[in-house]
Amino acid sequence: MTDLVAIARSLFVDGKGILAADESVHTATERLAEHGISTSAEMRRQYRDLFIGTKGIEDYLSGIILFSETLLEKGNDKKLFSKSLAARGIAAGIKVDLGTEPFPESPRELITQGLLDLPERLVEYKKQGAEFTKWRAVATIEGDRLPSNTALHENAKRLASYAKESQAAGLVPIVESEVLYEGKHGRARTKAVVEESLEVLFSMLNEYAVDRASVILKTSMVLSGEKSGKKDTPEEVAEDTISALLKVVPKQIAGIVFLSGGQTPDQATENLAAIVQQAKKVGTPWPLSFSYARALQDEALSIWKGKEENVSAAREAFLSRLEKVSVACKAKVLADNCIISTFPVYS
């Protein structure tokens, strides 16, 4: 097994997942503002410390994705964040895309930027302690018109080019293909778009000769749009998500993690539990886990409000959500006779 495959597999230990703590300066500013917190570089560092500095996270997290700024910073314990993660057996990851911009050929869609100086940046991130990377592409649903074929292809091409560069630099790539939850579309339309975007993505990864065994897919769950007026049951989400993934995702990849995408923490937890149960029931070739930002952070942020006196209560809320998501990820509640042991877990 190559080092990259070993790192990719180590992120899928039973019951553990990945915290996405890689909000750009712009997104972190928005996130904190939603909770009445005004931003500065020091406030962003404290925001990261709130989560990374929580004792016991190593019971639930195999990795944390950081933003470039954080990789160079120290926590309140005066240790580099990357070093304090390594000491607890948590792999440090890094967001390497430089965000999205309107796609010139179809301006209501978004295209991800950041390929230009990527090889040089990857070398630096590796020196700074990163073991894996993430690049996020998004697909917008608008009736049957969007996403356009050209936007899906261009985003997939950039994801594949990034994944190839990341592997060449000795870093495990997480290819994130997010189908946005915003919109009035139904679940069937989301399913079709998830299938189409992943089909295009995997054919592009093939074209770029990306090694599948050390690639991790980060994907959306198959949900009805936020403004559809429909509330999907966890069983409906689970059936459609697993059926879409089984149709288009090659069996050789290292594993699949889900983003929370704007779901409430409870919704993201319940849907994950149902998805993992469904995976065990039908038998899937890849391990599944979580890589949430909002669903893991929101409750803690609303308690913290940027105040020192709220740190311990906020950390308790964070740990409590982590524990619930971890239980969901193990799908312990499933009746024994439904479990099929072909669901792989690396240990």
Q: Which of these segments, 153-161, 190-198, 287-295, 325-333, binds ligand 13P (CB under 6 A)?
A: 287-295
- What's the Cα-to-Cα distance from 309 to each of 28, 50, 76, 222, rounded to whole Å? 21, 12, 15, 39
Q: Which residue has the tokens 């889900």?
A: 258
Q: Which of these segments, 255-263, 300-308, 325-333, 337-345, binds ligand 13P (CB under 6 A)?
A: 255-263
Is 261 a binding residue for ligand 13P by CB under 6 A? The answer is yes
Q: Which of these segments, 71-79, 142-150, 278-286, 292-300, binds ligand 13P (CB under 6 A)?
A: 292-300
Binding to ligand 13P (CB under 6 A) within 4-63 occurs at 20
DSSP 8-state symbol, 264? -
Among 16, 189, 294, 324, binds ligand 13P (CB under 6 A): 294
**Going by C-beta distance under 8 Å and a sequence separation of 6 or more, which residues neighbour residue 195?**
244, 247, 248
What are the φ and ψ backbone dihedral angles of 8, each rounded to 5 degrees?
Answer: -60, -45
Closest to ligand 13P by CB, 125 or 292: 292
Q: Which residue has the tokens 């039973």?
A: 14
Please say whether the beta carbons of 50 and 29 come within 8 A.
Answer: no
Name the catalytic one among 176, 239, 270, 299. 176
Among 11, 295, 301, 329, binds ligand 13P (CB under 6 A): 295
Among 292, 304, 318, 343, binds ligand 13P (CB under 6 A): 292
The beta strand positions in the chain, using DSSP E, are: 17-21, 61-66, 91-95, 100-103, 106-112, 132-139, 172-179, 216-219, 255-258, 288-292
Least distance (Å) between residue 338 CB and ligand 13P: 28
Q: Which helix (H) or strand (E) holds 61?
A: strand 61-66
Is 260 a binding residue for ligand 13P by CB under 6 A? The answer is yes
Is 136 a binding residue for ligand 13P by CB under 6 A? The answer is yes
Task: List active site positions.
Answer: 176, 218
Residues at the contact surface with ligand 13P, assessed by CB under 6 A: 20, 136, 176, 259-261, 291-295
